[in-house]
Amino acid sequence: MEKLIIENKVRNVLDQIRPYLQQDGGDLEFVELTDEYVVNVNLVGACGSCPFSTMTLKNGVEQAVKKAVPEIVSVEAVNLMH
């Protein structure tokens, strides 16, 4: 049950961050929360090809998620083809 609560908190934080990414033509999609409390996201739009996306992910998204949900170990980008 706790994992589901944490996943909902993570999704909420990501929804708060998304408008900032969308301003630059990018976005991210929640993929999964692993049993190790790693959040996997898919970077889309401009974020998928931006050379600074890793920095944005680690310095922006990951910090915001970990601050709001301390149980999270890290946020990682996975490459999903649509």
| pLDDT tens track for 12-59 | 999 999 999 999 899 999 999 999 999 999 999 887 887 888 888 888
pTM equals 0.90
Please count the CA atoms within 13 angstroms of the CA of 38 that sit on its side-chain side.
7
**Per-domain boundaries in the chain:** 2-77
Residue 82 has pLDDT above 80, yes or no: no
Q: Which fold has domain 2-77?
A: GMP Synthetase; Chain A, domain 3 (3.30.300)
| Three-state secondary structure of 10-52 | HHHHHHHHHHHHHHCCEEEEEEEECCCCEEEEEEEEHHHHCCC
